[in-house]
Structure 1
Amino acid sequence: MKLPQAIAAYFEADRRSDNDALIASFAPDAVVFDEGAKHKGHAEILSWLLASKAKYANLVSEPVDQTIDGDRVVVRSRVSGDFPNSPAMLDYTFTLAGDWITSLEIH
């Protein structure tokens, strides 16, 4: 499966636990929606990322499918780690603008 460049960079950086590279895949004013909360801009997204890694140890996300509709890409991913009912299938809904992720919703 060939993911768009920004999304591939996001998952690769996540796999390597490279927080700087992961944040670099987002536009400066990007928004992340996860677990009922909104995180806007690089500083808030980094805080969300670090909190998620602390809350869910050994988190691994493996993309298995994608649906592309214009600038929106839904990536179905197998997520495993130290949390109840692991592994789980989650949808990552990305909105792209050029080579940037402008929004991400995880559900």
Structure 2
Amino acid sequence: MNLPNCIKDYFDADSRNDPDALVATLSTDAIVEDERMRHVGADAIRKWWAEAKQKTPHVNEPIDAATTGNVTRVRAKVSGEFPGSPVTLQFAFTVQDDRIVRLEIA
């Protein structure tokens, strides 16, 4: 699967439960939208990610991806300790200057 380096690094950091490496993939003013909530900036995103991992331990496994312009949409199998696991979610990454500036999870 051909992914921009920062997206590969995002999924790698997520799988290793490494918040520092995950935040390093983001621009300083990045935005994440997940479960109808918006998290802006590296500190808020780090907090969101850590709380999500603690509340519901899970792993994200990319299945396929498609890129149009600076947006890469990745379908990922999300498995963990939650009802209905696994599920397939779409991660829409907007990348600029090899940093994630926006991520929408649906």
Q: Give the TM-score taking structure 2 as reference length.
A: 0.98
5+ long unaligned stretches in structure 1? none
With normalisation by structure 1, the TM-score equals 0.97
Q: Is the 8 A contact 2:2 2:65 kept in 1?
A: no
Instruction: State percent identity of aligned pairs.
Output: 44
Which blocks of at least 5 consecutive residues in structure 2 are unaligned? none
The residue that corresponds to 1:23 in the other structure is: 23
Give the alignment of 1:5-24 within 5 angstroms: 5-24=5-24
1:35 has 2:35 as partner: yes
- Secondary structure of the equivalent of 1:22? helix
SS at match of 1:63: strand
In the TM superposition, structure 1's runs of 4+ consecutive aligned residues that sit over 2 Å from their partners are none
Partners of 2:59 and 2:49 in 1: CA distance: 13
Q: Say if 2:64 is the partner of 1:65.
A: yes
Q: CA RMSD in A?
A: 0.6
SS in 2 for 1:73: strand
Q: Secondary structure at the match of 1:29?
A: strand
